[in-house]
Amino acid sequence: MRYATAGVLKYCCALGSCAAVAALAVHVTKSAAESSSEARAAAEGGTASGTVVPVFGIGIPAGYRDWKLIAVAREKGNLNDIRATLGNDPAIRAYRERAAVFPDGSIIARIAWTYVASPDNDKVLGKPQSFVAGSPAGLPDWYLEFMVKDSKKYAATGGWGYAQFDKDGKPADEALMKTCAPCHQTGNRIAHAHDFVFSRYTP
């Protein structure tokens, strides 16, 4: 819908500025409604997989792969993965405005892939230097993670609900989910100063 807006406005200009304003108002209103409903749907389990994690009751938000990029990262050690962090519209706005606190309705997604060498790319480049995301069959158990901001529902965990799923959409167990909030709340002072969020926005 947002990609069609420019074309709609261009067409409306020929019909008059009032029509253009009306079209823009409808687009903005719908976008805001869609953004707020994403978090509500995730927290209520009305999501892509229909399966929710224990403790927080969060499911996989529909359409999360279309969200905007926040940052990428490389984890070594036991994780040995590459990852991308995405955000829905409220989360992205908060990042870009450097808000001290994320508004309710914000959702942050983290996708992780195994980190493997690419022989095909290395052949082209003439030396071993290329690394890419591994095959879908080798995705890690911590493939998907989400943070959902709802200051009332998740008041006991700093206003955030947490979720983790494997490549098949299977949620993490209760024991693991209970470790999320303590890690974000007390395990890292830097995250504590940024509304318990680790990832920083990369322009």
Burial of 77 (0-12, 13-18, 19+ CB in 10 A): exposed
Summarised one tens digit per residue, pLDDT across range 29-39 is 334 555 555 55
Collapsing DSSP to helix, strand or coil, 128 comes out as coil
The domain of 131 spans 1-203
Summarised one tens digit per residue, pLDDT across range 100-157 is 999 999 999 999 999 889 988 999 999 999 988 888 878 888 999 999 999 999 999 9
Return mean pLDDT, the chain: 79
Predicted local distance difference test score (pLDDT) of residue 41? 55
Q: Which long-range contacts (CB under 8 A, 24 or more apart) does 172-181 make?
A: 172/53, 172/141, 172/142, 173/54, 174/54, 174/55, 177/53, 177/54, 177/55, 177/56, 178/55, 181/157
Predicted local distance difference test score (pLDDT) of residue 29? 36
191: Cβ contacts below 8 Å, ≥ 6 apart: 184, 197, 198
**Is the model's pLDDT at 21 over the cut of 70?**
no
Banded model confidence at residue 175, pLDDT cuts 50, 70, 90: very high
**Is the model's pLDDT at 77 over the cut of 70?**
yes
| Total domains, the chain | 1
Predicted local distance difference test score (pLDDT) of residue 183? 85
**CATH number for the domain including 45?**
3.50.70.20
Banded model confidence at residue 160, pLDDT cuts 50, 70, 90: very high
Predicted local distance difference test score (pLDDT) of residue 83? 94
Predicted local distance difference test score (pLDDT) of residue 184? 83
